[in-house]
Structure 1
């Protein structure tokens, strides 16, 4: 199996199960034209996030890492009319692009992009006494993943779902001696998740248009 084959299979799935509409296609195009890195989730992965949010019955969603808002659109569309999504983005240019893409998708009224380092904006949400989130999607700088998980646990309740993206690191996650801070961050994140009695969690390897990767899925049980 090759990356080309994986990509072809993803395209096959997406062509039949994930018809992208104009707003999603525009979000990718505008992000590309603005020079944002092409690290958004694939269409079938976006649809998976959408379905998980719907299955969860999420009314409040927290996203750590907005980029151009592509995954934000998928998640935002899973919300009920009175739902709300808060997405955290450290880069001003990314945040501007995302806000435009969300407005174009008709989601400006139920989504909010907060600018600033996520550790600061997460702390601000706790200080504000934010209502617990039903779903948290963590897809930002990996060295801070353990800290993002700690804050996510303060901002969720029993029954909430926490998803972590890009946890395989091309297989390097198994290397306990890795010097790469992204690998160390993901390892610490997974180990913290596994030790925490408030969480029931798993992780899955994937292959596809985004290469060899994977995600973690956890439910707050206490």
Structure 2
């Protein structure tokens, strides 16, 4: 097709209800979100950040990343109700291990109940406390390197978590950072939002690190307009 045959651009953003409809379509056709995952997602309502868990299609995407990377050890910054943690635990399999870091004991209690219901509690270790301190303890303990790290905690500390991820991984590992678009605010260098600056600083850290090869993807859907960074450690 040449330019004369190309359809004219619509020059509009789809309404949010259309984003939701598309997410529902793909979730109903491509995914297998069973009752355990559905209840884990719903239980996020009783955590300190209701509706902050990843969407079902995003959980499935993270699961696929684990399988593509052949990852057996996953580190997660930010647990909440453990929805994404269950996706990770299922993906690593019976011999795999997931360590998830959560600052709020009440959130961790909700998550651990969900892990038991999902039958994956034996392959998940929940560490309660500030994520930076918990990660530092993992480094001090000289734990086995992680194959995949998912950073989805307080955004101003993204650079701290990236530094920890680099200390806790090896060449060939994958690092994923969530919520990096923030309704487009990431492009505003004058933003007063510390979460935006946390994202921008971590991007700068990635660019400056020759060990990392990365890209970013924008997403729209039931979680609004956002996106993630995927980095590969050379």
TM-score by length of 1: 0.97
Number of the residue aligned with 2:98: 85
Question: Tell me, which stretches of 5 or more residues in structure 2 are unaligned?
Answer: 1-13
Q: Is the CA contact 1:36–1:94 (under 8 Å) kept in the aligned structure 2?
A: no
Secondary structure at the aligned position of 2:184 is classed as helix
Q: Is the CA contact 2:108–2:128 (under 8 Å) kept in the aligned structure 1?
A: yes
Number of the residue aligned with 2:213: 200
- Please, which of 5, 13, 19 is the counterpart of residue 32 of structure 2? 19
| RMSD (Å), alpha carbons | 1.0
Shift of 1:5: 0.5
Distance 2:112 2:151 in 1: 19
Shift of 1:195: 1.3
Aligned length: 221
Secondary structure at the aligned position of 1:216 is classed as strand
Q: Deviations over 1:128-153 (max 9, x none)?
A: 00100000000000000000000000
Secondary structure at the aligned position of 1:213 is classed as strand
Shift of 1:121: 0.1
Secondary structure at the aligned position of 2:147 is classed as strand
Moved over 3 A (4+): 33-36
Distance 1:94 1:137 in 2: 18
Q: Deviations over 1:81-127 (max 9, x none)?
A: 21100000001111110011011100110001100000100000000
Number of the residue aligned with 1:215: 228
Q: Is the CA contact 2:47–2:80 (under 8 Å) kept in the aligned structure 1?
A: no
Number of the residue aligned with 2:129: 116
- Please, which of 168, 173, 176 is the counterpart of residue 189 of structure 2? 176
Number of the residue aligned with 1:134: 147
Shift of 1:31: 2.8
Question: Tell me, which stretches of 5 or more residues in structure 1 are unaligned?
Answer: none
Q: For the pair shown, which has the larger CA radius of gyration, 1 or 2?
A: 2
Shift of 1:28: 2.0
Distance 1:216 1:113 in 2: 24
Q: Deviations over 1:162-221 (max 9, x none)?
A: 000000011010011111100000000111111111100010111111000000000000
TM-score by length of 2: 0.92
Q: Is the CA contact 1:36–1:68 (under 8 Å) kept in the aligned structure 2?
A: no
Q: Taking structure 1 as reference, are residues 171 and 34 closer, same or farther at Cα in structure 2, changes over 3 Å only?
A: closer
- Please, which of 33, 37, 41 is the counterpart of residue 54 of structure 2? 41
Number of the residue aligned with 1:96: 109
Secondary structure at the aligned position of 1:170 is classed as coil
